Chains A and B, each alone.
Chain A
Amino acid sequence: MKTRLRFGYLLPLAIILVWGVWVLLKGEDTLRETTFTVFMFIGMASSLNILLGYTGYVSFGHIVFFGLGGYFGFYLVSQHNLALIPASLAGGALSGALAGLLGLAVLRLRGAYFALATIGINEAARAFVSNFGPFGGATGLFVQFSAYEAYGGAGPALWTTFIYLWLVTLVVLLASSLVKSSRFGLGLMAIREDEDAAMVMGVKAPRAKTIAFMISAFFPGMIGTLYFFKNGNVEPGDAFQLHMSIEALVMIMLGGMGTVFGPMLGAVTYQGLRGYLLTSPIFKSLHLAVSGVFLLVIILFIPAGVVGWIRHRIPLTRKLLE
């Protein structure tokens, strides 16, 4: 049983590994761009899933960690010429630390109150950054073209960023697997099912929740830095889109929350669908409405998501999909 369990955790890693290699071998710019977006959402959805899927807390404004961490990392790259890796680690660290501080206060709230608080935090962060001088206020920050020279020019810099993101995505999936298959993860899932009962069984819920929140905030901070660096600029409107936060939730829902494979599957499917809708002549102007209908159908009829549904229907897959 053990070896098959491992297979369930390795599958997503293997897929992303092969996918990244394939993109690198192809070497096409458009393929790199679309894959960048997909990987980014896989990373975002998977890290959010550590809080949402394993711990059961609905962080609606999770994008704040992408925005703030990304802003900080980008600030270090663009204003202080820090290299991309340490900068993105710093971005992640800022997000993680912020989650740690906020967590102590906000994670006391349960259910919809917690969701509302995270929306408020995101809006407060957006409004604050719009007024914050060092981050360029409402206009945001730009990267000097010379910053790309360290990576051999703008083109190679984009490839380097892609490789970093690819690695981060792999690490997120690895972290997600490790958490899920660990003692810590079992405690989180106990909290998800019944927090009070979990505490009575000895789970240190306040600490466990906060750690889960920090892990799930750390990676978005890294990903944000890479994303803004790829774009060459950052502004408050891009960094704190509540909409993106909710899209990540939708991807988790679609693939199956609380699984390692689900958020990845959901991100790929959602991005694929959106790509199709945006380019299709029939749905182009209605793409948002069509996505909405799609989301509604999932929530009403397959709330466990695709992976949950398959696991439920075909017991054999329970050991293969985690």
Chain B
Amino acid sequence: MLDQVLSSLSDGIVLGFVYGLAAMGLSLIWGVMTVINLAHGPVIALGMFGTYLFFTQAGMNPYLAILLVAVLGLLFGFVMYGVAVHRVLNAPHLSTLLATFAINMILIGIGTAVFSTSPHNVDFSMGSLDAGPITIPLTRLIAALGAVLVTVFLYSFLYFTRPGKAIRAVANNREAAELMGIPSAAVLALSFGLGTMLAAVAGGLIATFFPFTILSGGPYELKSFVICVLGGLGNPLGALLGGLILGGLEGLVPAFMPVSWVPVVEFGLFVLVLVVRPTGLFGAK
């Protein structure tokens, strides 16, 4: 029993890092421009398919492919911001929600036409790590490590570089930042690009160990909402912690009740936290 719990918990936590990474993109975008990006799921799916295409068509190592996917994700984010978000940024929330949802529909629509909805997978294995009752496939371990690395990268970027500091300034107070001469449109586009990049990278990492379809991003998008709310919307590091909590829950809950109850617990917790503590578990009150 204990062995089972340990192994499922470690599974969950390792996955939690990747969940956290996916959610971090959503959280960053919210933090900078209070936009909930409803195209988040399809972007995760595009990250999966991008990795898949470089792997199968160009015979590239998946991790190298993910680097390329990251660059493409960043560029794609710029385009998305310019086309769909910039114009409605100051409109009521419904406009940005629906504008990003329109992108969601477009991506899913095109994706379905191109890839159909049958499952694909990146056929790639690196063996696994054994430690007592715990067995973790190496691909997952690398994914968790990748998530940590990206987080470190993101934080160094936000705190130690000029564009990063500009992002934080704009997140804090857009008008004041503009008065200080920070070009807010460029900074907003960059933040949106980074958010999209994080989603795409998370998708690429997931693709190395789970099969996927164009619709696979959906559940991760929903999980990202839960994680962002747990960790505090707009707090990227909180997102990583939130991811670990969610991963841990997914590992633990099945030990006590049927697996199908996991989403009930997750979304119940989500609504509860939103109502009781909308700033997240770690946020200031």
Let me know if chains A and B touch directly in the complex, using CB atoms closer than 8 Å.
Answer: yes
A: residues with CB less than 8 A from B are 52, 56, 58, 60, 105-106, 108-109, 111-113, 115-117, 119-121, 123-124, 126-128, 130-131, 138, 246, 249-250, 253, 285-293, 295-296, 299-300, 303
Distance in Å: Cβ of B191 to nearest Cβ of chain A: 16
Q: Do the beta carbons of A295 and B102 come within 8 Å of each other?
A: yes
- B199-231 CB mask vs A (1 if < 8 Å, else 0) is 000000000000000000000001001100100
B275 within 8 A of A: yes
The answer, among A123, A131, A299, for a CB contact under 8 Å with B98, is A299
**Contact of B88 with A299 in the complex, beta carbons under 8 Å:** yes
CB distance from B4 to the nearest CB of A (A): 21
B88 contacts A119, CB within 8 Å?
A: no
Contact partners of A121 in chain B: CB under 8 A: 267, 271
User: Which of A130, A131, A246, A292 has the largest number of chain B CB atoms within 10 A?
Assistant: A292
Q: Is B261 on the interface with A (CB-CB < 8 A)? A: yes
Q: In the assembly, what is the distance between CA of A126 and CA of B109, in Å? A: 24
A289 to chain B: which residues have CB within 8 Å?
A: 105-110, 113
Chain A residues lying within 8 Å of B270, measured Cβ to Cβ, are: 120, 123-124
B105 touches A105 (CB 8 A): no
User: Which 8 A-B residue pairings sit nearest by Cβ, starting from the closest?
Assistant: A289-B109, A292-B105, A288-B109, A124-B267, A127-B263, A292-B106, A296-B102, A295-B102
Query: CA–CA, A113 to B108, complex, Å?
Result: 25
Give Cα A109 to B275, complex, Å.
7
Bound Cα distance from A116 to B36, whole angstroms: 9
B266 to chain A, nearest CB (A): 8
Interchain Cβ contacts within 8 Å, total number: 130
Give the number of chain B interface residues (Cβ < 8 Å): 46
Query: Which B88-102 residues have a C-beta within 8 angstroms of A?
Result: 88, 91-95, 97-99, 101-102
B88 A300 Cβ-Cβ under 8 A: yes
Contact of B275 among A105, A124, A246, A291 (CB under 8 A): A105
Q: Which of B88, B97, B278 contacts A109 (CB under 8 A)?
A: B278
Give B46 Cβ to nearest chain A Cβ, in Å. Answer: 14
Cross-chain pairs A/B with CB under 8 angstroms, 22 sampled:
A56-B92, A109-B275, A109-B278, A111-B93, A112-B97, A116-B225, A116-B229, A119-B222, A120-B229, A120-B274, A121-B271, A124-B267, A126-B263, A127-B266, A128-B264, A131-B261, A253-B94, A288-B106, A291-B105, A292-B103, A296-B83, A299-B102
Which residues of chain A come closer than 8 Å to B105, judged between CB atoms?
288-289, 291-292, 295
Contact B34 A112 (CB under 8 A): yes
Our pick among B94, B102, B107 for the contact of A58 (Cβ within 8 Å) is B94
In the bound assembly, the distance between CA atoms of A60 and B104 in angstroms comes to: 15
Which A residues are CB-close (under 8 A) to B97?
Answer: 58, 60, 112, 115
B87 on the A face (CB < 8 A):
yes
B112 at the interface (CB under 8 A from A): yes
Q: Select from chain B the residue with minimum beta-carbon distance to A122.
A: B267
Q: Are B271 and A296 in contact (CB under 8 A)?
A: no
Q: B183 on the interface (CB 8 Å rule)? A: no
